[in-house]
Amino acid sequence: MPERQPPEVSPLFIPLFLTVLLLAGELHHPCLSAAETTTGIAQSAHDDGKGAEKGKKESSPAAETPAVTRHTITMKGKTLTYTATAGELPVQNDAGETEAQIFFVAYSVPNPSPTAKRPLLFIFNGGPGASSVWLHLGAVGPRIVRMLPDGRMPAPPFHLEDNDTTWLEWADLVFIDPVGTGYSRAAKADLAKKFATVQGDVDSLGRFIRLYLGRYERWGGPLFLAGESYGAFRSAGLSEYLLEHGIALNGIVLISSVMNMQPLSFDQGNDLPYPLFLPSYTATAWYHHKLAPQFQADLDKTLAQVESWAATEYTAALVQGDSLPAEKRREVADKLAEFTGLDAAFIANRNLRIDNRSFVRELLRDRQQMVGYLDSRFTAPDLEPSNPRGFDPAVAIIKPPYTDAFNRYIRTELGYKSDLEYFVLGGGIGHWDWEAKNSYADTSDNLRNSFAKNPYMKLFVAMGLFDLATPHFSSMYTLNHLGLTPALQKSISTHRYRAGHMIYLDSTSRGQLNRDVREFAHKALAENPR
């Protein structure tokens, strides 16, 4: 597995958010079957989000006794009763020594059939440095943060509401916070760096999954992984790691994925990102009405034209480098201006190469606004247009409500008590070791090997058109270069949403994502009956 940390982190791995924050100067260093257990300090009833008795837990970060509570929510006019388990499991080395504690929140629904086990999904976000709160309280869990319909932040104070598109309706869920995120911590400070590596991260999560399956007696049922952003990167790595330890997956769900860092790295001499980001620039310009009328009329038609041009003429022009004739250079600059809404002179001055950092500050400069990296639908006033590093409007929108909501939810509804800071996004991860020597971090090889070793495994990839962190065309590029046989290629399905990196912020897209993933999981199991 992978590789080196590119010198220009720009979009390197906004695998979920951390790189964006780094770029924006907001950070100083580099986004599931619940336990059907009867253990725990307390059990309580929960009706429409209002808990009664709450489970309690000691503040010690090493405590392993989970808090178990009972709840009900209303979805689609029906009542869903479930058990929530919040706790920690140890990460032990081969000598049996505990090197870290991994925090998790699991949800399970009573199984109506003793002969058929419910699917179990292990879920995490990315970063590296992001906790699982984003998928947990944004899309998948039974309770979600109440945002405005298009995903923008409401006025504080913030609230939770029942999630009528929760994946818990059809599968049990385990939300995992990798070491250095959430409440998960290394046992000793000098062990922390072990988990801030590509291999160390995969190894620790693989050990967690094995231990969870044993402690909560979930061996023998359908298993899935779901990862967002860098969570997709680790999912690809985990797919082969788990196989090598005797754990075969039925399927993997990748949301706003990255598995190879080269398509995201705007490095000198690496022209690959420029054509792969272009369609996302076009979608963003379309959303903000910066394109000519013929391109504003039909986004899908426009994107098909842009993607074709990006993969052919634009790529061919970049390959020629300094030998590109002046007339052809002007032609390409004019075409890029049409497809991006940027000025042709600006593009020419950038040598026909527009990185995402430049794009988000330039597109709406005439309105004194900048657009978001994670979700380019969102904007904010650009008060320092000469400053090359600014904040991400999308992160500014999501961080306060999710931080506030989780800290109240875990204590008052799930009954888990801890004095530790819950690292929502950054704070617990220092330098990340990409383990790359003169190359780019890449776990797509692990995914390819997993398909070869486990022909029953299926893959679903969800992509947002307004994602300037892990663009949809970049995701497709990686998928199209896995080197799979035609038969194995049929195991992959994809869907594009008119949303950003966090597809589920948009309420319409969240509902569609739930339907798509549910259909994917059911099809994966139906094609391979037990």
Q: Write out the E strands in 48-95.
A: 50-51, 67-75, 78-92
What helix, strand, coil percent values describe the chain, rounded to 5? 40, 20, 45
CA angle 257, 17, 360 (to 5 degrees): 95
Q: Is the pLDDT of residue 222 over 70?
A: yes
- The confidence band for 60, taking pLDDT boundaries of 50, 70 and 90, is very low
In the chain, the domains with their CATH numbers are: 67-263+399-527 (3.40.50.1820), 268-387 (no CATH)
- The confidence band for 530, taking pLDDT boundaries of 50, 70 and 90, is low
Q: What's the mean pLDDT in 312-317?
A: 98
Q: What's the mean pLDDT in 88-111?
A: 96
Q: Is the dihedral of CA 188, 193, 197, 199 positive or negative?
A: negative
For residues 221 and 117, is the Cβ–Cβ distance under 8 A? yes
Q: DSSP state, 269?
A: T
Per-residue confidence (pLDDT) for residue 497, from 0 to 100: 98
Give percent of the chain with pLDDT exceeding 90: 80
Per-residue confidence (pLDDT) for residue 428, from 0 to 100: 85
7 or 459: which leads in pLDDT: 459
Per-residue confidence (pLDDT) for residue 174, from 0 to 100: 98
What span, in angstroms and rounded, lies between the C-alpha atoms of 231 and 235? 6
What span, in angstroms and rounded, lies between the C-alpha atoms of 187 and 181? 14
Q: Which residues, including other chains, have CB under 8 Å from residue 498's CB and lie 6 or more apart?
A: 299, 464, 465, 466, 506, 509
Q: Is the pLDDT of residue 385 over 90?
A: no
Q: What's the mean pLDDT in 20-28?
A: 36
Q: Is the pLDDT of residue 43 over 60?
A: no
Q: Is the pLDDT of residue 362 over 60?
A: yes
Q: What is the CA radius of gyration of the chain?
A: 23
From the list 88, 67, 89, 71, the residue with the least C-alpha distance to 79 is 71
330 membership: H or E segment, kind and range: helix 326-340
246, 130, 143, 52: CA torsion to nearest 10: 90
Instruction: Of 12-16, 186-190, 282-286, give the lowest mean pLDDT range.
Output: 12-16
HEC per residue, 226-241: EEECHHHHHHHHHHHH
Per-residue confidence (pLDDT) for residue 64, from 0 to 100: 65
From the list 464, 441, 255, 277, the residue with the least C-alpha distance to 374 is 464
Highest mean pLDDT pick, 15-19, 21-25, 74-78, 346-350: 346-350
Per-residue confidence (pLDDT) for residue 50, from 0 to 100: 36
State the average pLDDT for the chain.
Answer: 88
Phi/psi at 223 (5° precision)? -125, 135
Q: Is the pLDDT of residue 14 over 80?
A: no
What span, in angstroms and rounded, lies between the C-alpha atoms of 517 and 173? 13
Per-residue confidence (pLDDT) for residue 527, from 0 to 100: 82
In tens, the pLDDT along 118-169 reads 999 999 999 999 999 999 999 999 999 999 988 899 999 999 999 999 999 9
Q: Is the pLDDT of residue 399 over 80?
A: yes
Per-residue confidence (pLDDT) for residue 267, from 0 to 100: 95
Entry field: residues in the chain? 530
- The confidence band for 304, taking pLDDT boundaries of 50, 70 and 90, is very high
In tens, the pLDDT along 470-529 reads 999 999 999 999 999 999 999 999 999 999 999 999 999 999 999 999 999 999 999 876
What span, in angstroms and rounded, lies between the C-alpha atoms of 415 and 86? 8
Q: What's the mean pLDDT in 437-455?
A: 95
Q: Is the pLDDT of residue 7 over 90?
A: no
